[in-house]
Amino acid sequence: MKKVKDLMVPLEEYATVSIEATLYDAVVALEKAQREFSRSLYHHRAILVYDKEKHNIVGKVSQLDILRALEPKYDEMAEKGGSLARFGFSRQFQKTLLQQFKLWEKPLADVCKKASKVCVKDFMYAPGEGEYVDAEASLDEAIHQLVMGHHQSLIVSEGKKIVGILRLTDVFMAVFQEIIACNIDIGKQPK
């Protein structure tokens, strides 16, 4: 039976930054980790955030978090109604919001300036209890957590120590390979 530790990416191979880092630092760390990580076709899509002493993982930054951080007006929208797309609002309505809140007026004109001024601690996400999994846990347990929590990854621990990250893409590939290995003859399947 496969365990979480069999599929996890070790912490030292994942992109990490200090809580005091800038958005620019985070992007550079992600790019470096992607370049150096060759075990998979899939690049890392998040950055783990350490506390000041580099003892504990205190947060996570996703690609979406980075894009949101570049446009602070999304915070205003969230205060007035949260994520609207999941409530079934039309594309036209979303375009109206883009204009109303004057989002991305200067799309990428000052991206370098913004990236150097925004601190990771101001836009990182603090993972909840359901986003941690023990390295010795079965892959079945991890799949359940990923599915029920709609997570892209889980932080892997051994006791109180963070040792890696379990990515949804790696879990999916393991399941995918198991299915392909079945080599079922479609013509002989019962109806």
* Secondary structure string (H, E, C) spanning 65-124: HHHHHHCCHHHHHHHCCCCCHHHCCCHHHHHHHHHHCCCCCCCCCCHHHHHHHCEHHHCC
* For residue 17, pLDDT beyond 90: yes
Average the pLDDT over 37-64 and give the result: 81
Contact by Cβ (8 Å): 27, 62: no
Please state which of the ranges 37-51, 59-73, 104-118, 142-156 shows the lowest mean pLDDT: 104-118
| Packed helices 139-149 and 168-181: angle between N→C axes, nearest 10 degrees | 120
Strand 57-62, strand 46-50: pairing: antiparallel
Judged by phi (left if over 0) then psi (alpha if -120 to 50, else beta), residue 96 lies in alpha
**Residue 113 to residue 120: CA distance in whole angstroms:** 15
pLDDT band at 88 (very low <50, low <70, confident <90, very high): low
* Amino acid in position 191: K
pLDDT band at 42 (very low <50, low <70, confident <90, very high): low
Please state which of the ranges 16-20, 45-49, 50-54, 98-102 shows the lowest mean pLDDT: 98-102
Question: How much is the pTM?
Answer: 0.74
The structure tokens listed for 184 are 């079922």
Please state which of the ranges 70-79, 95-104, 111-120 shows the lowest mean pLDDT: 95-104
* Amino acid in position 99: Q
Closest CA to 12 of 41, 32, 26: 32
pLDDT at 67: 81
pLDDT at 30: 86
* For residue 79, pLDDT beyond 70: no
The structure tokens listed for 107 are 């799309």
Give the angle 145-146-150 at the CA atoms, nearest 5°. 115
Q: Where are the domains of the chain?
A: 4-188
Q: Indicate the average pLDDT of the chain.
A: 81
pLDDT in tens, 133-170: 999 999 999 999 999 999 999 999 999 899 999 999 99
pLDDT at 163: 93
CATH number of 4-188: 3.10.580.10
pLDDT at 3: 96
DSSP 19: T
